[in-house]
């Protein structure tokens, strides 16, 4: 019962401060010009001409693109235009809803104890005074009811905007410096937000040219236009073609490989070293340390690393050496446990698998490094393998490993860290070699097939680049380059 009463209070408040709000709305755009010293004779600039607008294509809706011709006094003529102000017409209903939205945000601030920023004497302040009288429980109720109310009212917006130009007001949207000819009005899709622009509702815009003195003249009103979301992003068509190209290429080569085609793969130093390194560890009776890096299970570098870990773990199980896998990310830990466990199973030694072979350390970059450093100096692994995503810690790890006298094999796709691994490790897989390694180690024809597809894609890039460089010398070459520009 109480809640119903409160809605009434809020609505009353809304109505009473309506005039105030409207003043606010129209003045918002001029806040930095209204302080200008009074100038005796105000000369109006010529208005911007030919205002046009469309729904912003290939988006989720709620956005429109406006464009206009510069005012004759912008950069020419009197040269007096300082900026353009963009205004949007909204129905009375929208203004009402905005007031409720404002009160919602005040309630939110009260609930979060962040009302200190509200200046005295403003509309928000008077709302604050009203709402602060209620308990938290009541405020939660009020809040939920108001949200439901806003949601309900929003459905009427499209219809209300048909009443143009009656029953509404111009709202300031944004300002742009002189020389600007277009503006993308990206509204919010959240109906609770003040910047909400409803889809499929009539929108009206106008653009004012404003001089230094604050004198302004308005363009003709644009409208009605409507915004909406699209179901297909045409800008991304080049990506569709490349997805198809790449997928078909991969599937073709995988099939070829399955049929038994002989596929050559060039040797990778780092990968050939892995087997030797495991043998060495066995001879020395020391463990092998495998570091998966700081990536999450979602990073493809980590996924590639899992495949390599599987091979290493299998070899380790066969040779009966000890394996240490400290991890940084808990999900990576879970996956790595699966991988190592099934590798031991494959090697026929499930009994040798210990649950703490793969263990979690901490999810803090340098704490993880400190712990791994400790392992290196105390367990003295014969071989350290670093595969995956690495950041600043790469050099700390690799140098400590070198200090402990371990053979070190690394691979990462973080370009900034490759130099450090190259300098400090015995073998380094550079960038793409890491991904190739996972296919190479498997020696499975299907995986090798996809390497072949990658190589064809590279050949395509080189070919296109050569054609492009030749065409770039001519005027019409630009069209070719544009084929590879994905706008959004």
Partner 1 sequence: MKRQLPFLLVFLFGAFMVFQYYVPHESSEFVYEFLLDWVMIIGIFALALGIWSLYTVSVDKIRHKKENWAYSYVTLIGLFIMVVLGFTYKVGDSWGFYSVFVISLMTLLGFLIQTSVSKDKGLWLGLSGLSLVVALGIAFTDDSWGIAFMTSEGLSNTMFTNFADFVLTPILATMFSLLAFFIASAAYRAFRARNILATLLLIAAIIVMLRFNPYMPFGLPEYMAKTSNWLMNVPNLAAQRAIVIGIGLGIVATSLKVILGIERGYMGKG
Partner 2 sequence: MTEKKNIFDKMMTLDRRWVFLFLIVVCVATYAADFSIPINTEQETESIFNFLDSLPPDDIVLIAIDYDPNNLAELHPMTYAVVEHLWRKKVKVIFTSLSQLGPAMADQAIRDISDSLKIDKTYNYNGVEHNFKGREIVNGVDYTFLGYKPYYALIILGMGQDFRLNFPNDYYGTPLDDLPMMQGVINYDQVACVVDLSGGNITDAWISYGQGRFNFPLMLGLTGVMTAQYYPFLGSGQVSGIMGGLLGAAQYEELADNPGRAKDGMRVQLFAHYVIILFIVLGNIGYFMSRRKNLEGGN
Partner 3 sequence: MKKTTIITFAVISALFLVSWIAKGMFTEGSSPFLDGFLVTLAAFLTLAIMSFLYKDNPYYKFAEHLFVGVSAAYAMCLGFWSTIVGNLIPRLSSGISEFFKVSYIEGDYNFIYFIPIIFGILLLMRLSPRGGWLSRWPLAFIVGTTAGLNFVRYLRSDFINQVSSTIVPLMIDWQGFGHFFSNLNFSATGQLVMMFSNLVIFIGVTCGIIYFYFSKEHTGWFGRASKIGIWILMITFGASFGYTVMGRISLLVGRITFLFRDWLEIIS
- Closest by CA position to 293, among listed 392, 382, 374: 392
* One residue of 184, 239, 248, 251 binding partner 3 per CB under 8 A: 239
- What distances in angstroms separate CA 61 from CA 53, 54, 213, 379, one per listed residue? 14, 11, 37, 59
Can you read off the two tokens belonging to residue 250?
């991969």
* One residue of 35, 41, 113, 473 binding partner 2 per CB under 8 A: 35
* Alpha helices (runs of H) in 320-364, residue ranges in sequence order: 330-346
Give the Cα-Cα-Cα angle 138, 143, 146 (nearest 5 degrees).
125
Instruction: Choose the one of partner 1, partner 3, partner 2, none that binds residue 377, judging by a C-beta under 5 to 8 angstroms depending on kind.
Output: partner 3
194 near partner 3 (CB under 8 A)? no
111 near partner 3 (CB under 8 A)? yes
* One residue of 33, 250, 406, 428 binding partner 2 per CB under 8 A: 33
Stretch that binds partner 3, among 22-30, 54-62, 283-291, 330-338 (CB under 8 A): 330-338
Whether 73 contacts 46, CB under 8 Å: yes
CB of 73 to partner 2, least distance (A): 13
Question: How far apart are the C-alpha atoms of 370 and 374, rounded to whole Å?
Answer: 6
Interface mask toward partner 3 for 12-41; x: CB under 8 A: ------------------------------
Instruction: Choose the one of partner 3, partner 1, partner 2, none that binds residue 481, judging by a C-beta under 5 to 8 angstroms depending on kind.
Output: partner 3
Task: Return the number of the residue (94 or 301) whose C-beta is nearest partner 1.
Answer: 301
* Three-state DSSP class for residue 133: coil
Can you read off the two tokens belonging to residue 170?
């111009």
8 near partner 2 (CB under 8 A)? no
Stretch that binds partner 3, among 27-35, 79-87, 157-165, 466-474 (CB under 8 A): 466-474
Instruction: Choose the one of partner 3, partner 2, partner 1, none that binds residue 118, judging by a C-beta under 5 to 8 angstroms depending on kind.
Output: none
CB of 179 to partner 1, least distance (A): 30
Task: Return the number of the residue (175 or 314) whose C-beta is nearest partner 2.
Answer: 175
Task: Return the number of the residue (90 or 429) whose C-beta is nearest partner 3.
Answer: 429
Can you read off the two tokens belonging to residue 286?
């020391």
Instruction: Choose the one of partner 2, partner 1, partner 3, none that binds residue 233, judging by a C-beta under 5 to 8 angstroms depending on kind.
Output: partner 1
Q: Report which DSSP code applies to 284.
A: H
Question: How far apart are the C-alpha atoms of 153 and 170, rounded to whole Å?
Answer: 20
# chain residues binding partner 3, by CB under 8 A: 75
Largest Cα separation within the chain, whole Å, is: 96
Radius of gyration of the chain (CA): 33
Question: How far apart are the C-alpha atoms of 43 and 211, rounded to whole Å?
Answer: 9
280 near partner 3 (CB under 8 A)? no
Question: How far apart are the C-alpha atoms of 358 and 324, rounded to whole Å?
Answer: 6
* One residue of 462, 475, 476, 479 binding partner 3 per CB under 8 A: 462
Instruction: Choose the one of partner 3, partner 1, partner 2, none that binds residue 60, judging by a C-beta under 5 to 8 angstroms depending on kind.
Output: partner 1
* One residue of 373, 394, 408, 410 binding partner 3 per CB under 8 A: 373
Helix, strand, coil % over all residues of the chain, rounded to 5: 50, 20, 30
Can you read off the two tokens belonging to residue 37?
């010293």
CB of 243 to partner 1, least distance (A): 7
Find where tokens 């495991």 sit. 278
**Beta-carbon count within 10 A of 377 CB:** 12
* One residue of 62, 83, 88, 286 binding partner 2 per CB under 8 A: 83
* Three-state DSSP class for residue 382: coil
Neighbouring residues of 54: CB distance < 8 A, sequence distance ≥ 6: 64, 65, 225
* One residue of 258, 354, 443, 458 binding partner 3 per CB under 8 A: 458
* One residue of 403, 472, 481, 486 binding partner 2 per CB under 8 A: 403
Task: Return the number of the residue (239 or 481) whose C-beta is nearest partner 1.
Answer: 239
CB of 85 to partner 2, least distance (A): 11
Question: How far apart are the C-alpha atoms of 182 and 53, rounded to whole Å?
Answer: 9
472 near partner 3 (CB under 8 A)? yes
What are the backbone angles phi and psi of residue 167, rounded to the nearest 5°? 55, 55
Whether 80 contacts 119, CB under 8 Å: no
Taking the mean position of all CA atoms in its chain, how far away is CA 92?
36
CB of 144 to partner 3, least distance (A): 6
Task: Return the number of the residue (203 or 333) whose C-beta is nearest partner 1.
Answer: 333
CB of 254 to partner 2, least distance (A): 43
- Closest by CA position to 196, among listed 258, 230, 150, 164: 150
The residues that touch partner 2, with contacts defined as CB under 8 A, are 32-33, 35-37, 82-83, 175, 177-178, 212, 403
């Amino acid at each position: 019962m109480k809640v119903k009463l409160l809605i009434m209070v809020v609505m009353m408040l809304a109505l009473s401060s309506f005039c105030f709000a409207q003043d606010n709305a129209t003045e918002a755009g001029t806040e930095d010009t209204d302080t200008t010293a009074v100038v005796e004779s105000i000369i109006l600039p010529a208005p911007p001409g030919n205002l046009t607008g469309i729904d912003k294509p290939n988006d989720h809706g709620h956005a429109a693109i406006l464009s206009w011709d510069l005012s004759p006094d912008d950069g020419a003529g009197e040269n007096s235009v300082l900026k353009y102000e963009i205004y949007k017409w909204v129905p009375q209903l929208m203004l009402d809803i905005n007031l409720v939205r404002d009160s919602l945000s005040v309630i939110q601030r009260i609930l979060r104890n962040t009302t200190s920023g509200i200046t005295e004497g403003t509309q928000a302040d008077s709302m604050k005074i009203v709402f602060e009288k209620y308990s938290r429980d009541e405020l939660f109720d009020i809040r939920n009811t108001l949200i439901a109310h806003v949601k309900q009212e929003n459905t009427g917006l499209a219809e209300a905007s048909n009443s143009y130009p009656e029953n509404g007001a111009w709202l300031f949207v944004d300002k742009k410096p002189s020389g600007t000819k277009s503006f993308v009005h990206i509204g919010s899709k959240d109906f609770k937000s003040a910047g909400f622009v409803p889809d499929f509702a009539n929108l009206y815009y106008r653009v004012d040219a404003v001089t230094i003195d604050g004198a302004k003249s308005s363009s003709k009103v644009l409208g009605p236009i409507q915004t909406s979301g699209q179901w297909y992003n045409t800008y991304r068509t080049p990506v569709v073609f490349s997805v198809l190209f790449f997928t078909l290429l991969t599937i073709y080569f995988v099939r070829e490989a399955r049929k038994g085609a002989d596929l050559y793969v060039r040797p990778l130093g780092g990968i050939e070293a892995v087997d030797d390194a495991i043998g060495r560890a066995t001879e020395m009776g020391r463990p092998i340390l495998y570091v998966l890096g700081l990536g999450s299970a979602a990073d493809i570098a980590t996924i590639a690393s899992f495949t390599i870990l599987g091979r290493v773990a299998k070899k380790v199980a066969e040779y009966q050496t000890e394996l240490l896998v400290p991890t940084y990310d808990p999900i990576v830990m879970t996956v790595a446990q699966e991988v190592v466990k099934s590798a031991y199973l494959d090697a026929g030694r499930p009994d040798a698998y210990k649950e703490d072979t793969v263990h979690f350390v901490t999810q803090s970059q340098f704490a993880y490094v400190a712990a791994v450093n400790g392992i290196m100096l105390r367990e003295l692994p014969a071989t350290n393998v670093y595969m995956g995503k690495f950041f600043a810690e790469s050099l700390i790890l690799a140098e400590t490993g070198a200090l402990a006298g371990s053979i070190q094999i690394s691979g990462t796709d973080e370009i900034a860290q490759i130099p450090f691994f190259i300098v400090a490790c015995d073998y380094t897989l550079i960038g793409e070699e890491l991904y190739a390694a996972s296919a190479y180690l498997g020696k499975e024809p299907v995986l090798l097939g996809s390497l072949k597809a990658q190589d064809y894609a590279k050949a395509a890039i080189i070919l296109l680049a050569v054609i492009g460089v030749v065409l770039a010398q001519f005027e019409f070459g630009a069209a070719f380059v544009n084929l590879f520009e994905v706008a959004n």
